[in-house]
Amino acid sequence: MAWVLVGLMLTGCPRTPGPDPLPEPATGPFLPRLMQGWTLEAVSYEGNMPNPFDSTTIAHFNGDADSVTGFFNFETINDTDVANYHIDFLATFLLGATPIHYLNSGTGIYDFDSLSQVLWFYDYPDTLEFHVDLDAETLQLWHSFAPIRDDSTGLDVVAKLNVRLIR
């Protein structure tokens, strides 16, 4: 009897949905897909920083950003490939710490190396470099290593940023 009840409970409880499966990688050239514009949907981050509670140790941090907004728009103007980008989010590096605001936006030329799958944005004096991890028709997964200024410590902390772009 107990086995019947356990069986009914297991079949009667809805399963927790897992993450959506990733779409198939796109076929054909990458650059034409960029021209359609992309919205920044999510950012996760990870890295190491000096431990504010014990300067002789390193603190590892990781997490999902909050209040994520942004976009990447691409166009060709007078035979020059131009990108307009905006990345804005809050990151909490350490439990209980004040969230750090990351904001980076600009307009500059861009270039893509199809062999290394690296996308560069040149917006003097800033240069961004993104590695393309997944190129699909409606989803882009990229990562970059970027300095994030922690105003509470006055330090620039280099973090790996994983960005998810949709259209």
CATH number for 120 = 2.40.128
Residue 16 lies in a domain: no
When pLDDT is cut at 50, 70 and 90, the band that residue 8 belongs to is: very low
When pLDDT is cut at 50, 70 and 90, the band that residue 1 belongs to is: low
Residue 118 lies in a domain: yes
The predicted model scores a pTM of 0.83
Owning domain of residue 34: 30-166
Does the bond joining 125 to the residue before it have cis omega, within 30 degrees of 0? yes
Residue 19 lies in a domain: no
Residue 1 lies in a domain: no
Residue 148 lies in a domain: yes
Q: Give the mean pLDDT of the chain.
A: 87
Q: What's 31's DSSP letter?
A: H
User: Tens digit of pLDDT for each residue in 28-41?
Assistant: 999 999 998 999 99
User: Tens digit of pLDDT for each residue in 38-62?
Assistant: 999 999 999 998 887 888 999 899 9
Residue 24 lies in a domain: no
Report the number of distinct structural domains present in the chain.
1
d(Cα 27, Cα 148) in Å, to the nearest integer? 34
User: Tens digit of pLDDT for each residue in 99-149?
Assistant: 999 999 999 999 999 999 999 999 877 889 999 999 999 999 999 999 998
When pLDDT is cut at 50, 70 and 90, the band that residue 10 belongs to is: very low
* Inter-CA distances, 18 with 15, 22, 27, 40, Å: 9, 12, 26, 22
Residue 87 lies in a domain: yes
Residue 15 lies in a domain: no
